[in-house]
Amino acid sequence: MESSKRKQCCSTIIETIEAPLPLVWSILRRFDKPQAYKRFVKSCTIRYGGDDGDGGEGSVRDVTLVSGLAGDFSTERLDELDDESHVMVVSIIGGNHRLVNFCSKTTVVASPEEDNEAEKTVVVESYVVDVPEGNSEEDTILFADTIIRYNLASLAKLTKMMMEQSLYD
């Protein structure tokens, strides 16, 4: 007899970004603007602004994905946003895509500085997600890890560009 219990998998991605923590966090924490660095996101609309109505914890967003992905849209909830600890937890609660019951925790910390070294920030993103029927755990992790790595590389490029522009302002 087959078990009805869903099968889940998890992974953690770590990215070191050559930018100060305040800059990296200022981009990551914007629940209303994931398209700023997530290139698979076409647009984002806040459906519910959270308990305070300000887009904080409890907010729900509808995200339209770029064409060509395995899905068209995603509905996501901001479960936690801690500006002191630099922690953000987001759950995917609906949509048509492969990341069913996806929950991600992103933590941002300043990297210890060496002498004469530029400020660096370490971004750690951990997640748990259901393994879709017909897929293996390895395939699901590869898919999710690839998207997260791409997003974090895009974040690194964006912060580098912003820092270079600020040198000339």
The CATH number given to whatever domain includes residue 93 is 3.30.530.20
> Mind listing the pLDDT tens digit for each residue in 96-117?
988 999 999 999 999 887 666 7
> Mind listing the pLDDT tens digit for each residue in 45-95?
998 876 666 678 899 999 999 876 678 899 999 999 999 999 999 999 999
Distance CA 15, CA 121 (A): 8
In a domain, 134, yes or no: yes
Structure tokens at 89: 């937890």
**Bridge partners, 123 (sequence order):** 15, 108
In a domain, 106, yes or no: yes
> Mind listing the pLDDT tens digit for each residue in 30-43?
999 999 999 899 99
Parallel/antiparallel/unpaired status of strands 103-110 and 121-130: antiparallel
In a domain, 64, yes or no: yes
Instruction: Output the pTM of the full model.
Output: 0.89
In a domain, 3, yes or no: no
93-96 LR contacts (CB < 8 Å, sep 24+): 93/60, 95/63, 95/71, 96/71, 96/72
How many domains, the chain? 1
The radius of gyration computed from the CA coordinates of the chain, to the nearest angstrom, equals: 17
Q: Is the Cα dihedral 137, 140, 143, 148 positive or negative?
A: negative
In a domain, 1, yes or no: no
